């Protein structure tokens, strides 16, 4: 029987994406054996996560400052805005500086199945950003899933009549493909070949 402490930590880790109870227990035992070294570094990283990181009030990115480094960077093209589902997608696109403009994180995708409607996503703040002016192009970089594409079309409809070009990533993307898992070459190609949403 494992101690209560190990059970508690295992249960917490098992809730993380990609980890189940088995992997969580293995991770906990690995950490117990390395209390003096790896555990201390992990603790520091977790405390920094809690104390220093927050959501950017403008774009939804996670950073140590709000506005985040991307929103605050004057070298970024403020006239191009790339809309993504999650922060992980923003990071995927920005890892290799594929997109020169700024971002907007929706915080998910429309899903009738999961009961996620427009009010649950940062769509109203997106419309407000575009309505405030100064943006020429909105790139809808949703995942190539049914829900991602439904979300893209919904947003394109809401942007109709506003003086911006609305484009989406080219469909060289594998169906069901999540941006986060794509290599940079594929992402760069999808971005370069972006086209008006139809």
Query: Nearest approach, Cβ of 57 to Zn ion (angstroms)?
Result: 8
Q: Is 40 helix (H, G, I), strand (E, B) or coil?
A: helix
Asked if residue 10 binds Zn ion (CB under 5 A), the reply is: no
C-alpha–C-alpha distance, residues 62 and 105, integer Å: 10
Asked if residue 173 binds Zn ion (CB under 5 A), the reply is: no
Asked if residue 56 binds Zn ion (CB under 5 A), the reply is: yes
Residue appearing with tokens 């029987």: 1
Residues with Cβ within 8 Å of 176's Cβ and at least 6 positions away in sequence, in order, are 144, 145
Applying CB under 5 A, what is the total number of residues that bind Zn ion?
7
Query: Nearest approach, Cβ of 87 to Zn ion (angstroms)?
Result: 10
- Binder among 24, 28, 59, 81 for Zn ion (CB under 5 A): 59
Query: Nearest approach, Cβ of 105 to Zn ion (angstroms)?
Result: 8
Number of Cβ within 10 Å of residue 92's Cβ equals 21
- Binder among 58, 143, 149, 151 for Zn ion (CB under 5 A): 58
> Is there a cis peptide before residue 16, judged by omega within 30 degrees of 0?
no
C-alpha–C-alpha distance, residues 162 and 159, integer Å: 6
Residues making contact with Zn ion (CB under 5 A): 56, 58-59, 61, 67-68, 71
């Amino acid at each position: 029987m494992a101690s209560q402490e190990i059970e508690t930590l295992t249960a917490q880790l098992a809730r993380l994406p990609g980890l189940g109870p088995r992997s969580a227990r293995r991770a906990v035992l690995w950490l117990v054996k390395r209390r003096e070294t790896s555990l201390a570094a992990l603790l520091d990283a977790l405390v920094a996560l809690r104390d220093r990181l927050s959501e950017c009030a403008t774009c939804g990115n996670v950073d140590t400052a709000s506005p985040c480094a991307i929103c605050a960077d004057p070298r970024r093209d403020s006239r191009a805005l790339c809309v993504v589902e999650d922060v992980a997608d923003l990071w995927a696109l920005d890892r290799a500086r594929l997109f020169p403009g700024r971002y907007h994180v929706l915080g998910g995708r429309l899903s009738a199945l999961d009961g996620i409607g427009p009010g649950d996503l940062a769509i109203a703040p997106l419309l407000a950003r575009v309505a405030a002016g100064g943006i020429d192009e909105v790139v809808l970089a949703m995942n190539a899933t049914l829900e991602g594409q439904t979300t893209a079309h919904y947003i394109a409809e809401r942007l109709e009549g506003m003086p911006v070009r609305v484009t989406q990533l080219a469909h060289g993307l594998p169906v069901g493909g999540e941006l986060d898992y794509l290599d940079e070459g594929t992402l760069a190609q999808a971005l370069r070949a972006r086209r008006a949403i139809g």
